[in-house]
A = this chain, B = another copy of it.
Amino acid sequence: MGRDASRTEAFSDAVIAIVLTLMAVELLQLGPEQAREHGVAAALAHEWPAYLAYVITFAIVGQVWLTHHNMWRYVARVDQLLLVFNLLLLLFVAAIPFTASLLAQNLRGTVADQRLTAALYVGAVLGEALFFNLSWWWARRRGLLRADLDPRLARAVSRRFMVGPVLYVVAFSLVFINPVLSLCAYLLLVGVYLVPGPGDVRA
């Protein structure tokens, strides 16, 4: 039955890999037109929000993969509901490039548009975080985790998963001060996750 967990990992990897590169497709499409009208240097300078959004989305989605990788190492078996939670997680992950793109295009828009698009972006990220929490909670409750997993580690991972959404809401709230500040806070948050915590892979 171990094949079940590894097929779910492979499928999630494919979806996350596509989402990670979707922003690069977006870059491909917006480059040419701008360059034709204004020259390459001016076009690239003009498109900085798109590049910032590319890097931030890559960072967020890259971190989603890291978290998925770290969590699923402990999953021994799957059931129907865990697979459904995982699909819903992917639904929100797949919406991140769309909301990130909207956000980037409105960094220089009206204040109302900045806040709306920031809210949509954080909504996609929170949806993803919610289904990470639900997946972990369900897998623990139904005994789908590996038998040799230390219960204290499982609890520590649960706590860590619950902190994430709170920090994202804080980063979002900075949009009321300045939208670029809010984007930078997301980047900082991803940096925080690189400090090894419970459940992370260690050599």
Contacts and interface: CB of A to CB of B under 8 A. Distances in A.
A167 interface: no
A64 B94 CA distance: 17
Contacts of A84: 62, 66, 194
Nearest to A25: B22
A78 interface: yes
Interface residues of A, number: 72
Nearest to A142: B203
Given A10-B13, A11-B65, A102-B35, A113 B80 contact: no
A20 interface: yes
B196 A101 contact: no
A79 B202 contact: yes
Interface string A18-37: 11111011111101100100
Contact of A113 (B8, B40, B66, B112): B40
Contacts of A27: 95, 98
A152 interface: no
Given A4-B73, A27-B98, A40-B117, A18 B21 contact: yes
A156 interface: no
Name which of A17, A55, A90 has the most chain B CB atoms within 10 A of its CB. A17
B83 A69 contact: yes
A149 to B, nearest CB: 14
A65 B11 CA distance: 9
Interface in A1-59: 3-4, 6-11, 13-22, 24-29, 31-32, 35, 39-41, 44, 55, 58
Contacts of A78: 201, 203
Q: 10 tightest A-B contacts by CB?
A: A14-B17, A62-B87, A79-B203, A11-B13, A24-B94, A40-B113, A27-B98, A18-B21, A15-B17, A80-B200
